[in-house]
Amino acid sequence: MELRTLRYFVAVAEELHFGRAAARLHMSQPPLSRAVRRLEADVGTALFDRSPAGVALTPAGAVLLDEARALLDRADRARDRVAAAAGAAGLTVGILGDGGGPDAARLARAFRRRHPHAEVRVRDTDLTDPTCGLHAGTVDVALTRGPFDDTGLTVRELRAEPVGALLRADDPLARRDRLRPADLADRRWFRFPAGTDPLWQAYWNAGEPREGPVVRAVRECRQAVLWNGTVGMTVLGHEPGEGLAVVPLDGVPPSRVVVAWRAGEASPLVRSFVRIAVGVYGD
């Protein structure tokens, strides 16, 4: 029973879909299916129920999933300890400007408990680079928001959060229960500098070209609204600050909190960071 095969199994068990698991593992589906079949032959029982309705774990598969996760965690910790002994255990984490808060603090505590000797370097980035330096090669893993150009990257969604219109509290529209982008069509929006990822720019401009002040940071977005009556989008549930209001915005997909890393370059520390992040943000 090889660790690689167990990683394949865990991917299928978590995705409950061979195609998605293959994409996550950066491999084609046929060799993944063959590997799982060999594992089932090795343990002497079916691990998945396969039907036209989809894939589900068998009772034996559920047991193996717990055991496999534990084995893989122990293997990763062993690699980390060896790397630490060699002075090479380190991780550079990119965090988007609004990526702090209670969840990030919980993630930091959980990661520190699991890897007390790992040296973690944090790179805060502004809103002009949603990959937080992944494309530039300056970070190992990013805690950020989509959408962005994910060419050469692996991206896992952690949470989807609804968005709202950020307005000055005395704006007449701030008294509305809900808004649509069309209600803000004639207003000036804060926007990001030229050259910012087009997918990212389009999302935060609700899919339309906008005119308005250029901003780079969350604080600048809020100040543009407070001082100039500019409008824009923000995540519901985030405290907007004194003098500002957030109104739920219909017709815009939720903002996705994601963890991302360079495809094919997931070190044991990166893999552990991803697993811990999934657990923390999924609670």
Instruction: Give yes or no: residues 75 and 213 share one domain.
Output: no
Tell me the H-state helices in the chain.
3-15, 18-25, 29-43, 59-85, 102-114, 198-204, 218-228, 268-282
Q: Tell me the CATH number at 32.
A: 1.10.10.10
Tell me the H-state helices in 172-282.
198-204, 218-228, 268-282
Domain count, the chain: 3
Closest CA to 151 of 270, 258, 259, 263: 263
Each residue's pLDDT tens digit, 35-72: 999 999 999 999 999 888 888 999 999 999 989 988 88
pTM of the model: 0.70
How much is the pLDDT for 134? 93
Instruction: Give yes or no: residues 78 and 17 share one domain.
Output: yes
* Number of residues that make up the chain: 283
How much is the pLDDT for 264? 82
How much is the pLDDT for 148? 95
Mean pLDDT per 10-residue run, the chain (283 residues)?
88 88 84 92 92 89 90 75 60 83 88 88 90 92 94 94 96 96 95 93 94 92 94 90 95 95 86 92 77
How much is the pLDDT for 227? 94
Where in the sequence is the domain holding 145, given as residue range(s)? Answer: 89-158+255-283
Instruction: Give yes or no: residues 80 and 96 share one domain.
Output: no
Each residue's pLDDT tens digit, 216-246: 998 899 999 999 999 999 999 878 889 999 9
Q: Tell me the CATH number at 207.
A: 3.40.190.10
